[in-house]
Amino acid sequence: MGIRERLSGNEAVAVAMRQINPDVMGAFPITPSTEIPQYFSTYVDNGQVDTEFIAVESEHSAMSTCIGAQAAGCRAVSATSSCGLCYMTEMLYVAASDRLPITLAVSCRALSGPININNDHSDAMGVRDTGWLMLFAETNQEVYDNYLQAMRIGEAVELPIMICQDGFITSHAIENIELVEDDKVKAFVGEYNPKHYLLNKDEPMAVGAYATPTYYMEAKRQQAQAMIDAKDVIRKVGAEFGEMTGRTYGLIEKYMMDDAEEAIVIIGSSAGTAKAAINELRAEGKKVGLIKIRSFRPFPSEDIAEALKNVKAFAVMDKDDSFNAHCGPIYAEVCAALFSNGVVGPKGINYIYGLGGRDVRIESIKTVYAELDKIVETGCTGETYRYLEVRE
């Protein structure tokens, strides 16, 4: 039996960190992730963990600290948000290309400008191609569960991993969650035994050396293969976690999709609002469903294509914009997934929504399904690149 608790998403991450007891934390505060190192620092001060807590002067230095520690053979963690994640970007590429399985908690927040501290996904999506694994959570429970699985996933394929949640919506809101007992966490996560590390006196090595064209492309191909291999690892670890807790995870979650004719593809906490809207529409006899993306990197292309192949119309919800005059990043990935897997039937549209913390209500989601109704009825997609509930 698990331990019943009431925690914010940020505190849930800090508790997971305490249970794992990493070797090093490189920390610099930024809203809304500040509480994670704040909570964790109390565990360090109280002697509940023996982590080396290194307070630095910037997010760039926080990630640099983690890179040095992980390269030396330690488990290293950090947390950040918004422009802090942007400031880390250079070092995110370094961590991924050096194949260092650092674990980073991200409380997603809008980017400037205009200046805004509320939730959207522009920070995480802005670094989506840095080579990191990326898991997103709908609820505080999922934030905690994702974190417990993260190190096993990252270490198995030797890639760093981000655990993303929605700033303030889950990071600060308190929910009932079920914690795993400390001893079970220790056994599940296991010890970190890297194959190669700087402090191994029997294997002198360099990390981050210059790569000429003779070697660079092969290194990137290996990095790409690790991302591909991560799909099966995520499924395997999620299944083992389910055996321990009763909460099983994959790359996506399908909700009411067995007979759905219309579907929404979404990521993060807004999935909960969408599920509530689906319940109401189902009560009216409408065959609507939802696909929630848990793993954005690696992108679950086969899973999504399989889930959407029988629907008549779908809408992809992007909580940020690529500003390409065409679509948001999730829509682009979903369309590529359908094309590459030979799925040509469904008609798709893209909604940019919730930017800067704009409310997403049940009525908002119902508006999207009403537009899908029109597409199914008329066979005409119309404008595919749309903004939801914006004052034009």
Q: For the chain, how big is the Rg over CA atoms in Å?
A: 21
Consecutive H or E run containing 42: helix 35-45
Give the span between the Cα atoms of 226 and 85, in whole angstroms.
23
Give the span between the Cα atoms of 232 and 223, in whole angstroms.
16
Closest by CA position to 74, among listed 159, 174, 199, 175 = 199
Q: What angle do CA 13, 18, 22 make, to 5 degrees?
A: 100
Amino acid identity, position 38 = Q
Q: What angle do CA 113, 116, 117 make, to 5 degrees?
A: 140
Give the span between the Cα atoms of 28 and 10, in whole angstroms.
15
Give the span between the Cα atoms of 377 and 315, in whole angstroms.
15
Mean pLDDT by 10 residues, the chain (392 residues): 94 98 98 98 98 98 98 98 98 98 98 96 98 98 98 98 98 98 98 94 91 96 98 98 98 98 98 98 98 98 98 98 97 98 96 97 98 98 97 86
pTM above 0.85, yes or no: yes
Give the span between the Cα atoms of 350 and 388, in whole angstroms.
10
Q: How many CB atoms lie within 10 A of CB 273?
A: 19
Question: What is the DSSP pairing of strand 103-108 with strand 347-352?
Answer: unpaired
* pLDDT at residue 392 in the model: 80
Residue ranges of domains in the chain, CATH in brackets: 3-245 (3.40.50.970), 252-387 (3.40.50.920)
